[in-house]
């Protein structure tokens, strides 16, 4: 995410933009999660796209898009951040690279936020108003079109303000993401629009609709006295609440501080917390694939099956080698039989 301080004077000193964790420590802390997270991302996307039931389930579509975008973040933004922590400089000392890096960080983060917010709204439709998506036309209008609009707005809005800003960006190649050169947000109105629409309203939607979903399901279950009703929609509910909780616990404190700064409070207030918020925001992307995999019973069963197969193979191989050794030993010590004529 961006740092509200965009001028080169504010980011000229590495002491003012680094957290207490050394850069080498940041490198290893991210790398430990990055490798298994990428593997898990490919795993869940493979099963999402290969499995016909998972691929055709409407409630999985928004999370397939989120998982794809998150994988792009892991393979670009986070990899470039690791390179920065390793060498203390950006991968390529060029304005075009800095713009691409900022876009992939800022633009894709906002897009994921908006998609999670839409998912919390859509989940109410899929569970309680499935008659709204009974026909193909209704599916296009109520399910597919909002997803496309949300995706297009998130990517298009950030492409315009980052790639074609109405001002001159300032780059600092000694800072992560070139110092977050977003001169567009020096305009308080633009900054307020971004914080209120993309952060606060999106977060409020996620909180309100997630809690409302849980309350509605519990009340519906009690009123109908049908345990099967809960089992039918438990998968969709757990999937949404898990991802919503991960998003909120990682980003809410930082977003509130951004809003306070946008309202005119000096940047020095909570400046150190902003630095930590920028760093630990990566763990929202790194943990997302594991949350997605754990919230889907089908994937969880496949993971358990794979782990059990590995354990069985690990047990069988030593037994086979020991039995072969014993057989060879018996053959070596066997005396020849002499037949007298």
Question: Tens of pLDDT along 75-112?
Answer: 999 999 999 999 988 998 999 999 999 999 999 999 99
pLDDT score, position 311: 67
Residues 6+ apart with CB under 8 A from 9: none
Domain residue ranges of the chain, discontinuous segments joined by +? 24-304
Calpha distance 188→111 (Å, rounded): 22
Q: Which of 14-28, 93-107, 130-144 has the lowest mean pLDDT?
A: 14-28
Least confident of 149-153, 170-174, 227-231: 227-231
CA distance 18 to 4: 15
Element (H, E) at 92: none
The answer for residues whose C-beta is within 8 angstroms of residue 83's C-beta and 6 or more apart is: 90, 91
**What pLDDT is recorded for position 7?**
38
What does 231-297 look like in DSSP terms, one character per residue?
A: HHHHHHHHHHHHHHHHHHHHHHHHHHHHHHHHTT--TTTTHHHHHHHHHHTHHHHHHHHHHHHHH-H
Mean pLDDT of 137-150: 96
Mean local confidence (pLDDT), 294-310: 71
Average confidence (pLDDT) over 164-183 = 88
Record the tokens describing residue 129, joined without a space. Answer: 């108003």
Lowest mean pLDDT among 70-74, 116-120, 252-256: 252-256
35 has a pLDDT exceeding 80: yes
What integer pLDDT is reported at residue 84 of this predicted model?
Answer: 94
Higher pLDDT, 69 or 10: 69
Q: Is the dihedral of CA 318, 324, 326, 329 positive or negative?
A: negative
Residue 260, pLDDT above cutoff 60: yes
264 dihedral zone (left: phi>0; alpha: psi -120 to 50; beta) = left
Q: How confident is the model at residue 341 (pLDDT cuts 50, 70, 90)?
A: very low
The pLDDT of residue 166: 85
What confidence tier does 15 reach under pLDDT thresholds 50, 70, 90? very low
Residue 153 CA to residue 138 CA, distance in Å, equals: 22
Q: What percent of the chain has pLDDT over 70?
A: 81
Picking from 169, 199, 181, 188, the residue whose alpha carbon sits closest to that of residue 261 is 188
Query: Looking at domain 24-304, does it have CATH number 1.10.10.10?
Result: no
- Given a cut of 70, whether residue 46 has pLDDT beyond it is yes
Give me the mean pLDDT over the 236-257 stretch: 85
Pick the more confident residue, 10 or 161. 161
Describe the chain by its helix, strand, coil percentages, rounded to 5: 80, 0, 20
> Shortest CA distance to 215 belongs to which of 295, 124, 115?
124
Instruction: For the chain, report the end-to-end CA distance as a whole number of angstroms.
Output: 94
Stretch 186-211: mean pLDDT, rounded? 89
Rounded Cα distance between 67 and 40, Å, is: 10
Give the Cα separation of 39 and 129 in Å (integer).
Answer: 36
Please indicate whether residue 8 or residue 216 has the higher confidence score (pLDDT): 216
pLDDT at 225 over 80: no
- Cβ-based neighbour number of residue 231 at 10 Å: 10
Predicted local confidence at residue 224, as pLDDT: 66
Looking at every residue in the chain, the average pLDDT score rounds to 82
pLDDT band at 231 (very low <50, low <70, confident <90, very high): low
- Whole-number Å distance between alpha carbons of 337 and 136: 82
């Amino acid at each position: 995410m961006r740092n509200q301080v965009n001028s080169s004077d504010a980011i000229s000193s590495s002491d003012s933009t680094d957290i207490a964790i050394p850069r080498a420590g940041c490198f290893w802390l991210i790398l430990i999660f990055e490798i298994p997270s990428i593997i898990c991302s490919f795993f869940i996307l493979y099963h999402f796209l290969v499995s016909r039931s998972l691929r055709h389930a409407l409630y999985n579509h928004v999370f397939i898009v989120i998982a794809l975008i998150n994988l792009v973040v892991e393979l670009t933004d986070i990899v470039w951040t690791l390179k920065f922590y390793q060498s203390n400089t950006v991968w390529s000392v060029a304005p075009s690279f800095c713009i691409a890096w900022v876009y992939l960080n800022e633009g894709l983060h906002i897009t994921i936020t908006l998609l999670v917010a839409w998912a919390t709204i859509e989940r109410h439709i899929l569970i309680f108003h499935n008659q709204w998506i009974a026909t193909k036309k209704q599916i296009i209008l109520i399910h597919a079109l909002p997803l496309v609009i949300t995706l297009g707005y998130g990517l298009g809005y950030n492409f315009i303000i980052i790639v074609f800003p109405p001002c001159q960006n300032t780059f600092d190649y000694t800072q992560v993401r070139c110092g977050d050169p977003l001169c567009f947000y020096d305009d308080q109105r633009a900054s307020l629009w971004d914080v209120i629409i993309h952060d606060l309203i999106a977060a409020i939607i996620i909180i309100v609709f997630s809690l409302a979903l849980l309350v509605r399901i519990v009340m519906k279950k009690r009123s109908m006295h049908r345990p099967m009703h809960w089992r039918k929609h438990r998968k969709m509910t757990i999937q949404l609440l898990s991802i919503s909780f991960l998003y909120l616990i990682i980003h809410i404190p930082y977003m509130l501080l951004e809003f306070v700064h946008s309202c005119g409070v000096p940047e020095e207030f909570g400046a150190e917390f902003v630095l930590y918020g920028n760093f630990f925001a990566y763990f929202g992307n790194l943990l997302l694939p594991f949350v997605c995999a754990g919230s889907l019973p089908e994937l969880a069963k496949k993971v358990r099956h794979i782990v059990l197969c590995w354990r069985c193979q690990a047990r069988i191989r030593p037994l086979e080698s020991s039995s072969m050794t014993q057989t060879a030993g018996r053959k070596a010590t066997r005396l020849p039989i002499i037949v007298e004529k």
